[in-house]
Amino acid sequence: MADLDKPAVVIDQGASGIRAGRSQGGCESWHSVFQALGVGAEGRRLLICEPFGTSAHQRKERLELAFEEHRVSAVFMQLQPVLTLYALGLLTGLVLDCGEMGCRAAPVIDGYVLPHAFKSQAVGGRHVAARLLDLLRRRGYALSRDTSLAAVTAAKEKLCYLAVDREAEAKLARETTVGVTTYTLPDGHRLRLGAERFMAPEVLFDPQVMGLEAPGLAQLAHDAIQAADIDCRRALYQRMVLAGGGSLFPGCSARLAKDVRTLHASLAGVTSAEAGSKKMKINVDAVPRRKHLVFMGAAALADIMQDQGDAWVSAREWAEDPTRAAARCGSN
Ligand SMILES: Nc1ncnc2c1ncn2[C@@H]1O[C@H](COP(=O)(O)OP(=O)(O)OP(=O)(O)O)[C@@H](O)[C@H]1O
Ligand SMILES: [Mg+2]
């Protein structure tokens, strides 16, 4: 029996951990989530934040885990980009999620992701840390890959930034020491970081610097907008929303706006009316809590849906027909 009085538990699972309740990441499994929250799963409702592109098979596996291992009473799923917009009180926008293992550009119109225009790249925050480690090793620091990635990740989060103008930043780094700073690793090693601070995150916008074949964040955003129906493009250019921990580098929104503006202007010579307007307004929303937007949108939604019993897929429906239950949960 569902316990309708108790708030639903929200689960936002990413490659770097699970955000749930106040635990805000760090949990490795659903068991540890319920433990951290100090609540039993049995009889609870679960709101699962679903990555776009989840297959029917993956969805079924997740439901099996929820209903059969954790014995929750009901489940609701909503797509991460849609939840990101909910957190900001929006229904339309281009959601750019930079996670640990990749970046995704999801055009959302009136609360629905345009599936044909969704774009992604398998380059994310982990690659920035790997790039920083490589750059430091090339500078002569004796850092082994396994032991150092976590330590270098902390340095990345604290000191790295995105150059708004890469050439100008490189020139500044060659000619001055204004950007040079030191960082002490947990083992006492002291690192001197200069140009590495902006060269490492550059991989998000230019994956070629690591020999990776991927378009880069601005191109990804632009490709997604251009793949959307022509009537929607203006609204998407005007409301690009950054989300995910990998978007927290200072300079990220300014760089994105600048590069997308350049890409849009480059269309002008080639194509028609819509592209012809060099005056297209390009805006990037980058709220400070953007790492948690998915979770925040889901928590708000769980609240709103507290009394809407029929919208949730129940354990009984799952027991009767798992395939139908999974289909009712999914949005693709
Ligand atoms: N202040 C910061 N500056 C830069 N990067 C950061 C910062 N804080 C966290 N990150 C990075 O954000 C990434 C994790 O982001 P997020 O939690 O959105 O990913 P995830 O949802 O677990 O992964 P995915 O979406 O790929 O499954 C990590 O690479 C982490 O190092
Ligand atoms: Mg994520």
120-160 per-position pLDDT tens digit: 999 999 999 999 999 999 998 888 766 688 889 999 999 99
Q: With a 6 A CB cut-off, is 81 part of the ligand 1 pocket?
A: no
Nearest to 310 by CA among 81, 2, 87: 2
Percent of the chain with pLDDT over 70: 92
Residue 4 has pLDDT above 70, yes or no: no
Give the side-chain half-sphere CA count within 13 A for 19.
Answer: 20
Distance CA 149, CA 70 (A): 33
Query: 149-153, 191-195, 292-296 — which is least confidently predicted?
Result: 149-153
Which pairs from 295-299 meet CB under 8 Å and 24+ separation? 295/10, 295/12, 295/19, 295/20, 295/24, 295/49, 295/83, 296/87, 297/82, 297/83, 297/84, 297/85, 297/86, 297/87, 297/88, 298/10, 298/12, 298/47, 298/49, 298/78, 298/83, 298/86, 299/10
User: Ligand 1 pocket, 248 CB below 6 A?
Assistant: yes
Confidence at residue 46, expressed as pLDDT on a 0 to 100 scale = 94
Residue (of 19, 97, 81, 9) closest to 46 by Cα position:
9
Residue scoring higher pLDDT (38 or 85): 85
For the CA of 290, the nearest ligand: 1
Structural Rg of the chain based on CA atoms: 22
At what angle are helices 293-304 and 80-87 packed, to 10 degrees?
A: 80
pLDDT of 29: 85
**What pLDDT is stored for residue 243 in this prediction?**
98
Mean pLDDT of 194-199: 97
Distance (angstroms) between ligand 1 centre and the Cα of 83 equals 17
Residues paired with 10 in a beta bridge = 47
Is residue 114 over pLDDT 60? yes
Q: Are 292 and 24 in contact (CB under 8 A)?
A: yes
pTM of this structure: 0.94
Confirm whether 9-80+293-329 and 89-122+214-286 share one CATH topology. Answer: yes
The best mutation among 10, 12, 16 to test binding of ligand 1, ranked by most ligand atoms within 8 Å of the C-beta, falls on 16
Gap from CA of 326 to ligand 2 centroid (Å): 22
Q: How far is the CA of 14 from the centre of ligand 2 (A)?
A: 4
Burial (Cβ within 10 Å: 0-12, 13-18, ≥19) of residue 110: exposed
Q: Dump pLDDT digits (tens) for 53-100.
A: 999 999 999 999 999 999 999 999 999 999 999 999 999 999 999 999
Listed residues: CB within 5 A of ion ligand 2: 14, 99
Mean confidence (pLDDT) of the chain: 91
Write down the CATH number for the domain with range 125-205. Answer: 3.90.640.10
pLDDT for res 278: 56
Mean pLDDT confidence for 10-34? 80
Mean pLDDT across the stretch 195-200?
98
Name the pLDDT band for 307 (thresholds 50, 70, 90).
confident
- Three-class SS state of 49: strand
Residue 22 in this model has a pLDDT that exceeds 60 = no
Q: What is the maximum span of the chain, computed from C-alpha positions, in angstroms?
A: 70
pLDDT over threshold 60, residue 50:
yes
- Predicted local distance difference test score (pLDDT) of residue 41: 85
Q: Determine the distance separating the centroid of ligand 1 and the alpha carbon of 21, expressed in angstroms.
A: 18
Q: Which atom of ligand 1 is nearest to 12's Cα?
A: 21
Q: Which of 79, 125, 88 is nearest to 106 (CA)?
A: 79
- The domain segmentation of the chain, as residue ranges, is 9-80+293-329, 89-122+214-286, 125-205
What's domain 89-122+214-286's superfamily in CATH?
ATPase, nucleotide binding domain (3.30.420.40)
Ligand 1 pocket, residue 124 CB under 6 Å: yes
Q: Are 221 and 256 in contact (CB under 8 A)?
A: yes
Confidence of residue 1 (pLDDT cuts 50, 70, 90): very low
136 CA to middle of ligand 1, Å? Answer: 21
Tens of pLDDT, residues 274-290: 544 557 899 999 999 99
Query: Which atom of ligand 1 lies nearest, measured to the CA of 201?
Result: 4
Altogether, the residues listed in the chain come to a count of 332
Query: Which residue has the CA at smallest separation from atom 12 of ligand 1?
Result: 245
Candidates 225, 247, 227, 250; CA nearest to 237 is 225
pLDDT at position 31: 85
Which residue's CA is the closest to the ligand 1 atom numbered 21? Answer: 14
Q: Do 76 and 101 contact (CB within 8 A), yes or no?
A: no
Best CATH choice for the domain 9-80+293-329 from the list 3.40.640.10, 3.40.50.720, 3.30.420.40, 3.30.1330.10 = 3.30.420.40
Ligand 2 centroid from CA 28, angstroms: 14
pLDDT on residue 35: 84
Q: Which range has the worst mean pLDDT, 87-96, 145-154, 195-204, 308-317? A: 145-154
